[in-house]
Chains A and B, each alone.
Chain A
Amino acid sequence: MIEGRTGKWETVIGLEVHAQVISKAKLFSGAATGFGAKPNTQVSPVDAGFPGMLPVINRFCIEQAVKTGLGLAAEINLHSVFERKNYFYPDLPAGYQISQYLQPVVGHGRVSLDMPNGTVREIGITRLHLEQDAGKSLHDRHPSLTYVDLNRAGVALMEIVSEPDLRSGEEAGLYLRKLRSILRYLGTCDGNMEEGSLRCDANVSVRRPGAPLGTRCEIKNVNSIRYVMQAIEYEARRQIEVIEEGGTVEQQTRLFDAARGVTRPMRSKEEAHDYRYFPDPDLLPLVLDPDWVERIRADLPELPDARKARFMSEYGLSADDAGVLVAEKETALYFERVAQRRESKVAANWVMGDLFGALNRLGVGIHLSPVSAEQLGALIDLIADGTISGRLAKDVFAEMVASSADPAAIVEAKGLRQMTDSSAIEAAIDTVLASQAGRVAEYRAGRDKLYGFFVGQVMRATQGKANPALVNQLLKKKLAG
């Protein structure tokens, strides 16, 4: 809810996410899909809309869409139809986009969100359909020309449309993160928003709680989750202000200006869109074999929700910790490698504590971690078997982050192996007590608080290497005299 001048307002949001399908070749042509190639080098005459060139669909792209639909707990439509969406734009070579309209390949599904207050919220998925991506228009390379690169033209996209179930920018952010996580688990989209492989349009409207839906504005192509959240919050407040000033919200398409944090209407004249959809006569209806769909279902990987539940039951993790560890597929895999045959709580703490901290400071993802899961596991083993103390382990970990070296090698090279020889520790204690005769007397007279001081002195004298348990045991005996 947003508190306006005249009372409470509710924001209603539906998201249309365009997710680029991971595939080698394009949806309807054999051209490559890689990002960052030289302009127009990944274009077939089909993609460029050359006369007489015809589309032939890529089976793997359909499989990816079906897989995604199954991952969203959605209905798979065994009969779907590709239609032409007709409009003119320089990066749309044929003058139409092949898309699905009345009969998409995937119908109703859902995504569940873990809310910060611990509850779960289900967001409805209206549909998922396959379509071609457009090329790229570059407006800033020349004062009077737009440059057109068709490398992206024809790459398979999944348009995933949510129900208007989201109520805040924050929820929209949670939804996008969750959706991205599912897509990455499935391996159907890399979810990279900077490279444009995941793009989001947001339909935003406001209303009084319980009132019918208000007029919506569509915010186009916002290229990060943070910006989506900002754009929605800004847009909701803008609409509330318009209404509270006595105006009416105009249905329009708006762009988010990230530099200023505001949305503005698109400048190009929006003539009434009339896409003149009709079934593409170059293609026939897409008919899926139900057995094929079932085989895809059987091969689905474990998805975030299931993995979270398993982490809680199998590793005894809290819902929060499990949620954090499963959010990214790579993190979950990393954790499971560390936790293998080890104390899972300890593993979780190392991953979420020291490792996340180090990755944050380095500004890299877990797939680029300087410390491998096997190395972190070895470090935990060195603590468990008493080779190093927990305190020294922190220093060893810092060294691992810096050098990517194995923990055992660091311990050896720096002589950090724990002192477990009781006579050596006894000698160190004797030296400390001898030099602190006054304090020893005070302690024995009843100042128990000095105990920690003696421990510190002993540890210092052994450069931290003394086994803390042994130090305790021997020190208590010596002080008791």
Chain B
Amino acid sequence: MSDLALLALNLTEARDGLARKMFSARELAAAYNDAVSKAKPLNAYITPTPERALAMADAADERLARGEALPLDGIPIAVKDLFCTKDILTTAGSHVLDGFHPPYESTVSDKLWQAGGVMLGKTNLDEFAMGSSNTTSWYGPVENPWRRPGDNRPLVPGGSSGGSAAAVAAHAALAAIGTDTGGSIRQPASFCGIVGLKPTYGRCSRCGVVAFASSLDHPGPMARTVRDVAIMLSAMAGHDPRDSTSAPVPVADFEKALTGDIRGLRVGIPQEYRVDGMPRDIEALWQQGVEWLRTAGAEPVEISLSMTKYALPTYYIIALAEASSNLARYDGVRFGLRVEGDGLEEMYELTRAAGFGAEVRRRVLIGTYVLSAGYYDAYYLKAQRVRTLIARDFAAAFERVDCILTPTAPSTAFAIGEKSGDPIEMYLNDVFTVPANLAGVPAISVPAGLSGDGLPLGLQITGRAFDEETVLRVAQVLENAASFRHLPSFLAGAGR
């Protein structure tokens, strides 16, 4: 098979092709290594690991030859550079982690390698996963493989898992792992026209994932199809005794959940998601989604998630408070950057001033403030109480419905500089994704159509805690109905 034909296969197809010996894992890895090089202009990868990919592919080929194939044998996967990878540079997109080579592997990436996955490299991200546009990385912005027809301005891939999303969309990875603290898997998936799943809190271990906000960080899979994502999740998920918040809940074979049958399922449509100024095409696509699910036999139900409006400010207080503490360890003593100064305190201050970018600094300062004496109750405790109300909203809704359908994001990908410098305008990108992080419930983004200006748009399915099976099943029905086949301009430019 030609490289282009190899790269065009999705994960499920590649798995079958490998099983049927149509090509070797090494050929597949070599094609992807090449694609990673060619995708360099997108800046999706911080650290490609082509030699490792070939070595892992060879090991997969041996197993395949022996007929002992593992579930992900030979599948080339990109890893968000927030996952620690043993002896491989891990940066979190930050200058402050300069040269950091972890002496351990994150649980989730380790599970992928144990399942036969092939590591392509570490993908770019917003610094410490703080951003929705992948413009805050120390290693430079990532470019979305999509452009608006007739408009040559580069667009953002969304964030913070923008490198992972761009790599999958540009066929420079068959699948990727990301993390989602407030939408960081689903929003870039929507912007890049791929599928991204944020599982239930506790479903995938956080052990070895550089922390942004511990109670909100969710590792999860990104791939081209719902089935691909289900296969990835089966390999990544599971209880981890090294993460005290990991759930001791059995892992299903999520692929088996994709029956295509959603008859009788009740799908909630939250009225509060009809926000002011939502573009007409997004509103229309959402309506289209309702019709697709109705046609498939599901029953749409109007529901209320009354606290939706308060989810973003709640999220920002909690996330930034936790982040201010989680990022205290970057002090120039044990790893990463150190800027010497006159004495210890100056060493700390100069190291952290040089090591953190503007957005991270802003967030650490706010997080420090909301926890400080005299403000804790007014901000942090207040936000935790509202969080309870948000979780109750979902609990009440899930007594009436089996899942919830909404748009993933209130906009399509935008050009760098297209937004004002107002951080809040940027935060508003996460308005539809943040509630699921606060409640800890699973949510997926599926590419469902193109906007009026020719960019991908995602729809989001949110489900009950630990009911990824329903989320995936409905998502696949949506995927089939939408039959999104568009390719990004980056791939079209590559001769297709």
Contacts and interface: CB of A to CB of B under 8 A. Distances in A.
Given A56-B242, A56-B244, A50 B334 contact: yes
A34 interface: no
B331 interface: yes
Given A56-B242, A86-B325, A278-B325, A95 B331 contact: yes
Interface stretch (B100-108, B276-284, B404-412): B100-108
Contacts of A57: 244
Interface in B333-390: 333-335, 344, 348, 368, 371-373, 376, 380
Contact of A276 (B242, B243, B325): B325
A96 interface: yes
B329 A283 contact: no
B207 A51 contact: no
A276 B209 CA distance: 24
Interface in A250-292: 274, 276-278, 280-284
Contacts of A280: 214
B494 interface: no
Given A45-B104, A281-B214, A51 B97 contact: yes
Contacts of A52: 83-84, 102, 106, 206-211
A88 B328 contact: yes
B329 A274 contact: no
Contacts of A90: 331, 333, 344
A49 B325 CA distance: 12
Given A52-B208, A86-B371, A95 B325 contact: yes
Interface in A72-102: 84, 86, 88, 90, 93-96
User: In the complex, which of the residues B102, B214, B324, B334 has the most CB atoms of chain A within 10 Å of its own CB atom?
Assistant: B334
Interface in A91-120: 93-96
Contacts of A53: 104, 207-208
A259 B445 CA distance: 69
A214 interface: no
A313 interface: no
A306 interface: no
Given A52-B102, A277-B376, 16 more contacts: A50-B103, A50-B104, A50-B335, A51-B90, A51-B97, A52-B84, A54-B244, A57-B244, A86-B328, A88-B331, A94-B328, A96-B328, A274-B373, A276-B373, A277-B371, A282-B214
Interface string B429-472: 00000000000000000000000000000000000000000000
8 contacts: A52-B206, A56-B241, A86-B371, A96-B325, A96-B328, A281-B214, A282-B244, A283-B244
B207 A48 contact: no
A282 B206 CA distance: 9
A123 interface: no
A187 interface: no
Contacts of A94: 328-329
Contacts of A55: 244
B371 A278 contact: yes
User: In the complex, which of the residues B100, B103, B211, B333 has the most CB atoms of chain A within 10 Å of its own CB atom?
Assistant: B333
A146 interface: yes
A432 interface: no
A96 B244 CA distance: 18
A86 B322 CA distance: 11
Contacts of B47: none
B306 interface: no
A88 B209 CA distance: 23
Given A90-B333, A276-B368, A54 B206 contact: yes
User: In the complex, which of the residues A53, A54, A148 has the most CB atoms of chain B within 10 Å of its own CB atom?
Assistant: A54
Contacts of B174: none
B122 to A, nearest CB: 14
Given A90-B333, A278-B380, A281-B215, A50 B102 contact: yes
A188 to B, nearest CB: 23
Nearest to B207: A54
A191 to B, nearest CB: 31
B80 to A, nearest CB: 12
A282 B376 CA distance: 19
B245 to A, nearest CB: 7
B245 A93 contact: no
A277 to B, nearest CB: 8
Interface residues of A, number: 30
B34 to A, nearest CB: 31
B166 interface: no
Contacts of A86: 324-325, 328, 371
User: In the complex, which of the residues A84, A86, A96, A276 has the most CB atoms of chain B within 10 Å of its own CB atom?
Assistant: A276
A84 B380 CA distance: 14
Interface in A40-74: 45, 48-57
Contacts of B207: 52-54
B334 A284 contact: no
B328 A95 contact: yes
B360 to A, nearest CB: 14
Contacts of B331: 88, 90, 95
A426 to B, nearest CB: 85
A51 B322 contact: no
Nearest to A282: B214
A49 B329 contact: yes
A87 to B, nearest CB: 9
B359 to A, nearest CB: 18
Interface string B87-112: 00010100001001011101000000
A96 B371 CA distance: 13
Contacts of B372: 274, 276
Contacts of B373: 274, 276
B167 interface: no
Interface in A212-249: none
Contacts of A84: 325
Nearest to A146: B344
Nearest to A95: B328
A148 B162 CA distance: 38
Interface in A130-172: 146, 148
A52 B103 CA distance: 12
Interface string B236-248: 0000011111000
Contacts of A96: 325, 328
Interface string B195-234: 0000000000011111101110000000000000000000
B185 interface: no
B20 to A, nearest CB: 38
B397 interface: no
B2 to A, nearest CB: 39
Contacts of B209: 52
A278 B215 CA distance: 12
B244 A278 contact: no
8 smallest beta-carbon distances between A and B, as pairs: A95-B328, A281-B214, A276-B371, A281-B215, A49-B329, A52-B208, A51-B210, A52-B84
B219 to A, nearest CB: 11
A49 B100 CA distance: 13
A381 to B, nearest CB: 57
Nearest to B100: A51
Nearest to B374: A274
Nearest to A88: B348
Nearest to B344: A90
A51 to B, nearest CB: 4
B160 to A, nearest CB: 16
B321 interface: yes
Contact of B245 (A148, A278, A282): A282
A148 B344 CA distance: 13
A45 B105 CA distance: 12
A90 B329 CA distance: 10
B376 A278 contact: yes
B210 A49 contact: no
A284 B6 CA distance: 46
Contacts of B102: 45, 50-52
Interface in A163-186: none
A95 to B, nearest CB: 2
Nearest to A82: B244
B212 to A, nearest CB: 11
